[in-house]
Chain A
Amino acid sequence: MTKEELKSYLEKTFPGMTQEENIDFLVLWVEKDEIFEVARKLKEDEATRFDFLFDETAIDWQTHFEMVYHMTSTTYRHDLEIKVKLEDRDHAELPSMEPLWKAAEMYENEIYDLFGIRFSGHPHLRRIFMSNEWKGYPLRKDYQDDDVISL
């Protein structure tokens, strides 16, 4: 599908969801509760077949978190970005994408490790970069550490 076709497809299939376009990708804003069903639909629908989640990451905007999913289709070669806004910084939780895309397991481990966002349904959520005893989540903007020397 071309970008325009994908755009009209998304408008038809998910009415009411905000779309925008950045330099590379079409962006679809999804509500936190609907993300899993939307992702499942995009993956399993014959028209889209997003079978490859090539990036999953998070952004800390200090007031809220933003989850970013990048997916592509190895059959149709089109790609899409999905964004989710997480208002609750202290108890940020999302459904895991691991049942849909196996690749999400490691991405979500990393996001949990560095941002402290939890993923329900994840098979083994753990710290992968920091040691198990580590306190806090270093990529949060309000992270404090006595060892860090700042200029």
Chain B
Amino acid sequence: MDVNKNTEPFPGEIYEDETGNTNFLVSSIDKLSNWARSNSLWPLTFGTSCCAIEMMSAASAKYDWSRFGFEVARATPRQADLIIVAGTITKKMAPVLKRLYNQMPEPKYVIAMGACTITGGPFFYNSYTVVKGVDNIIPVDVYIPGCPPRPEALLEGMMKLQEKIRHSRAYVIDKPKKEENDD
């Protein structure tokens, strides 16, 4: 894994005076906000099955996702801007997930972790309870395949999301996400 690609320098030009002090800097607000957002994503603590165990592993000392700016895992959606859907989503859980997503403030990002969230995985056939793909409920930014994915895969996926955020246009208003707030 290329760790260096994540420690990106400040996106812009820094102008110094003759004494070597920084006097002013030039950047664009898009680059600046994307730089800030991508390096401080606050994930929501949300896990429904075995993928959540891998997620906890990725969060704790051995893999330690705070190296990449994810350390502030929040227990409330009001303070989080990233939801990692880790585990099987049943039809009974789907409204809860949707409500959690709607309660998160914009900008918000979704990672679908593991086979169950991508397609239903091992529950694709002959199952009357499992939602076949979490993208039927909420829009997904990054998919991480695996059953469950290893913590390295999760870290790679999260860094892919950071990359995606860095290349997005934060202050150009896109079409609003098709999500009616039912709360």
Contact = CB atoms under 8 A, between A and B. Distances in A.
Interface of A: 129-131, 138, 143, 145, 147-151
A151 B126 contact: yes
Interface residues of B, number: 9
B70 interface: no
Interface string B109-148: 0000000000000001111110010000000000000000
* A interface majority secondary structure: loop
A143 B129 CA distance: 13
B91 interface: yes
Interface of B: 91-92, 124-129, 132
A130 B92 CA distance: 7
A83 to B, nearest CB: 27
A145 B124 contact: no
* Pairs of residues from A and B, 5 with the lowest C-beta to C-beta distance, nearest first: A138-B128, A145-B128, A151-B125, A148-B128, A149-B125
Nearest to B127: A148
Contacts of A145: 128
Contacts of B127: 148
Contacts of A147: 128, 132
Contacts of A143: 128
Contacts of A131: 91-92
B99 to A, nearest CB: 15
23 contacts: A129-B92, A129-B129, A130-B92, A130-B129, A131-B91, A131-B92, A138-B128, A138-B129, A143-B128, A145-B128, A147-B128, A147-B132, A148-B126, A148-B127, A148-B128, A149-B124, A149-B125, A149-B126, A149-B132, A150-B125, A150-B126, A151-B125, A151-B126
Contacts of A129: 92, 129
Contacts of B132: 147, 149
A62 B73 CA distance: 50
A69 B86 CA distance: 37
A144 B92 CA distance: 18
A130 B90 CA distance: 10
B21 to A, nearest CB: 64
A107 to B, nearest CB: 20
Given A129-B92, A130-B92, 17 more contacts: A130-B129, A131-B91, A131-B92, A138-B128, A138-B129, A143-B128, A145-B128, A147-B128, A148-B126, A148-B127, A148-B128, A149-B124, A149-B126, A149-B132, A150-B125, A150-B126, A151-B126
Nearest to A149: B125
B19 to A, nearest CB: 69
